[in-house]
Structure 1
C-alpha cells in the first residue's frame, strides 16, 4: 500500500480567528471554503502539498493538550520571529536546535494548538 498525506483536520471554535492566523499571518493560501452538514470548512495550503483543514465547531474532536502539533518549514527562523513579534504572537517554546542542521520554535494558534516553525540549516 502506498500512502500520501492529504490533510490534517483541526476543529476550531472561531473559524475567522483561525483564518486570520493561518492565512493572513502565516501565509497559507486558501484553497477552498465550503459548507458540509451545516459546518463551515476551509482547506488551506499550497498546490501539491498536504492541506490544513479547519472545521468550525464548538466541540473540538482534538483538544490542544492532546499532543498534536502542526509543523511548517520556514526559510529563516529569525525573520519569522520578527514577523511574529510584529503581529503580537509570542513564541511559546524555543527556539531549539537539536542538531546543527535544524532550528525550530513553537507558537500557539487561536485554539491553543501548537504550531512548529522549523528552519533546516
Structure 2
C-alpha cells in the first residue's frame, strides 16, 4: 500500500487572522477557498505538496497544549527570524540546533498552534 500525506486540518477561530498568518506572514499560497456546511475553509500550500486545511469553526479549538505542531522548512533561518522580528512575531522557543545539520525555532499562530521553522544546513 502506498500512502502519501494529503493535508493537515486545523480548526481555527478566525479564518482571516489565520490566513494573515499562514499566507501573508509565512507565504503559503492559498490554493482555494470555499464554504462547506456553513463553514469557511481554505487550503494552503505548494502545488503537489501536502496542504494545510484551515476550517473556521465555533467549536472548541485544539490548542498547542495538546501537542499539535506544524513544521515548515525555510531556506535561511536567519532571514526568517529577521522577517519575524520586523513583523513583531515573537519566537517562543529557539533557535535550537540539535545537531550540526539542523536549526529551528518555534512561533505560534493566532490560535496558539506551534509552528516550527527549520533550516537544514
Identify whether the pair has TM-score above 0.5, normalized to the shorter chain.
yes
Count of matched residue pairs: 121
Q: For 1:14 and 1:42, how far apart are their aligned partners in 2?
A: 12
Shift of 1:61: 5.2
| Structure 1 segments (4+ residues) deviating >3 Å | none
Q: Does 1:100 align with 2:91?
A: no
**Structure 2 SS opposite 1:4:** coil
Q: Is the 8 A contact 1:41 1:53 kept in 2?
A: yes
Q: Is the 8 A contact 1:12 1:60 kept in 2?
A: no
Q: Taking structure 1 as the reference length, what is the TM-score of the superposition?
A: 0.97
Q: Is the 8 A contact 2:12 2:111 kept in 1?
A: yes
- CA RMSD across the alignment: 0.8
Q: Is the 8 A contact 1:18 1:109 kept in 2?
A: yes
Question: For residues 1-121 of structure 1, what are the structure 2 equivalents within 5 Å?
Answer: 1-60=1-60, 62-121=62-121
Could you list the runs of 5+ residues in structure 1 that have no partner in the other structure?
none
Q: 1:111 to 1:61 in 2, by over 3 A?
A: closer
Q: Taking structure 2 as the reference length, what is the TM-score of the superposition?
A: 0.97
Q: For 1:64 and 1:40, how far apart are their aligned partners in 2?
A: 22
Shift of 1:97: 0.3
Partner deviation per Cα, 1:31-67 (whole Å, 9 max, x = no partner): 0000000000000000011000000012245322110
